[in-house]
Amino acid sequence: MFSAAAPLAVTADQKRELELLVRNGSSPQKVALRCKALLLAHQGVANTSIADQLKVSRPTVLALRAAFAKDGLTAITGVRRRKREAKVLTPELETRILDTTLNARPGDGSTQWSVRTLAAHLHVSRTMVHRVWQRHDVQPHRVERFKLSNDPQFERKCVTLSVSIWIHLTARWCCAWTRRAKFRH
């Protein structure tokens, strides 16, 4: 499946420091886990096996190996940041969220936007959409007027339906009235 990785190059001082951090009872658990992963990688254990033993993902092991090769021991104890940056709420983005909320409809046949569907549509976080809605007091689930259907023929269908229902009910009432009249005599 994956090709075996070469054993990780670790100096004697680094190895001693890694083992010390693993055995030290006051080391944070994530630091001890990283040290164990690096020691196993130094022994030549495959990345997949390391991931299985330590209950982490293979990409985590690969990222740890790369960070150690680049930064040394500071990669273990230092704070690691993700590579992607969070989107910032700019006035243009806020205007886009409001315009989409108020002037467009979701493409999935829904009648209004939810926080999650709008966030997915605009590729922003749902908390960002929620904050904009709260700031501008937008509540798309509360519409001004109730509309039963978007069908342009809806009123004509309702009139036809109500006439047929009226005829049916009138016929039933007449039959029931005549049956009662027979028994009255």
pLDDT in tens, 54-93: 999 999 999 999 989 888 888 887 766 666 677 788 889 9
User: Between 159 and 119, whose confidence is greater?
Assistant: 119
Give the C-alpha distances (Å, rounded to integers) separating 171 from 21, 157, 159, 180: 90, 21, 18, 14
User: Between 165 and 45, whose confidence is greater?
Assistant: 45
**Residues 136, 75: Cα–Cα separation, whole Å:** 44
Q: Is the pLDDT of residue 148 over 80?
A: no
> Which one-letter amino acid corresponds to residue 108?
D
